[in-house]
Structure 1
Amino acid sequence: MLTVNFKQLNIKDGDTLLDVGCGEGRHIIHACLEHNILGVGVDLSLRDLKTTLERFAPFAAYNPNSYFSIQQTDATRLPFADHSFDKIICSEVLEHIENYTSVMQEINRVLKPNGILAISVPRAWPEKICWRLSSAYHLVEGGHIRIFNAKELRADIEKLQFKLTHRYWAHALHAPFWWLKCLWWGDQENSRIIKAYHRLLVWDLMQKPWVTQTLEKLLNPILGKSVVMHFKKTGESL
């Protein structure tokens, strides 16, 4: 399930792409399969990186013109030289990190001038409902430690000499699913409605039927669980 719109990322052959907090590899694997690039995914979780390798393995020979690499690292101390990457993705990561400004400074450092950055975080109002329905939702290990105001986050990023180029919302159909999960947090396994909704989401992901795909596009500006912003780096690292 992709959060970032790759058409807006404008990936070109030969680009270097970094996925900061790549998790189980949904974005970096897609990028390396669909584009002739050097793709690097980094994450602090060794378990997630192992899952990424397992998911990529069946497709390893699918695109011989693309290079795929992953590395365990702290996003506040990226092990790359200044101006190493043409494009950077940081999707659903910053809400987990205490010192997220250090992550943004590192992203700014390793992104080339005129490079493109795609950032996504949970949208504020659907996230607030999750927090109200279940404290465990955000208090679990590795949970969300803050709710972002998108305008304030945009301002923080623009202070690092970035210019907003696109903004959109994603995963409208997932917002009610997470509200249901939070409502029955301690008894999710026995909830028929959660199981039925999950089957709907899996069907939508695998089959991509016109009805749910169209419905989500229409609902995203209203109900989208994630807000996605694309920026162009306009100057040198500070």
Structure 2
Amino acid sequence: MLTVDFDRLGLQAGERVLDMGAGGGRHAFEMYRRGADVIAFDQDADELAKVSEWFFAMRDEVPAGANAEIKEGDALSLPFGDGEFDRIVAAEILEHIPADIQAIEELVRVLRPGGTLAVSVPRWFPEIVNWKLSDDYHNNEGGHIRIYTREELVDKVTKRGLVYDGDDYAHGLHSPYWWLKCAVGVEKNDHPAVKAYHKLLEWEIVKAPRVLQAAGKVLDPLIGKSMVLYFHKPV
């Protein structure tokens, strides 16, 4: 389930790309499939170990010359050189980081002039509903510590030297699912309504039926759970 539009990001085979806060690797895998030289970066060693296993399993299915590796570290001090990456993805990570401006400055530093950055965060309206319905949704170790407006995040990134290219929204079918979970209790995965909706989302992800694709196109601009912002670094 991808949040970032890689065509809009401008990703090309052979480019060096960073998935900052890679988590389970969903975006790193897609960039690898497209022939990029990928670094999956995260502070969770267990998650990275799984990502590494998938990279190994994919090695015979990717374009010739594509490379992928993992790197563990701190988003506030990226272990990479200035201007090292052509493209960077930072998906659903900044809302977890107290020193978000420092993290943004590091992303800008390692992006080459002319390179592009995609940043996704939870969208303000769906996220504020979750916070109102449940303290448990965000009051946990490593949880969400802020809710961004588009204007706030654009301001923070452009003040660090990037140019704003536009935005998009994704996962409109997922917002009601999280509202439901927050209403009944975020840990109650066995609740009948939660289980039924989860099966619907599994159907969307695995089978991609046309009816749910059409529903997503309608709901994404209205209540898409994720907001995606695109930037480039001036030459």
Q: What is the CA deviation profile of residues 140-170 of structure 1, one whole-angstrom value per residue up to 9, with x for unaligned ones?
A: 1211011111111101111122111131100
Alpha-carbon distance between aligned partners in 1 of 2:186 and 2:60, rounded to the nearest angstrom? 43
Q: Residues 36 and 55 from structure 1, CA distance in 2 versus in 1: closer, same or farther, beyond 3 angstroms?
A: closer
Could you say which residue in structure 2 is the equivalent of 1:8? 8
Q: CA deviation at 1:187?
A: 5.4
Alpha-carbon distance between aligned partners in 2 of 1:185 and 1:56, rounded to the nearest angstrom? 35
Compute the TM-score of the two structures, normalised by the length of structure 1: 0.95
Q: Residues 112 and 196 from structure 1, CA distance in 2 versus in 1: closer, same or farther, beyond 3 angstroms?
A: same
Aligned residue runs from structure 1 range 82-231, under 5 A:
82-185=82-185, 188-231=188-231
Q: Which amino acid aligns with 1:87?
A: R
Could you say which residue in structure 2 is the equivalent of 1:58? 57
Alpha-carbon distance between aligned partners in 2 of 1:150 and 1:47, rounded to the nearest angstrom? 32
Alpha-carbon distance between aligned partners in 1 of 2:90 and 2:189, rounded to the nearest angstrom? 31
Alpha-carbon distance between aligned partners in 2 of 1:91 and 1:114, rounded to the nearest angstrom? 20
Could you say which residue in structure 2 is the equivalent of 1:25? 25
Alpha-carbon distance between aligned partners in 1 of 2:97 and 2:103, rounded to the nearest angstrom? 8
Q: How many residue pairs were aligned?
A: 234
Q: Residues 186 and 160 from structure 1, CA distance in 2 versus in 1: closer, same or farther, beyond 3 angstroms?
A: closer
* Aligned-residue RMSD, C-alpha: 1.2
Local SS of the residue matching 1:153: helix
**Structure 2 spans left out of the alignment, 5+ residues:** none
Maintained 8 Å contact 1:8/1:166 = no
Alpha-carbon distance between aligned partners in 2 of 1:49 and 1:134, rounded to the nearest angstrom? 30
**Structure 1 spans left out of the alignment, 5+ residues:** none
Q: Residues 79 and 192 from structure 1, CA distance in 2 versus in 1: closer, same or farther, beyond 3 angstroms?
A: same
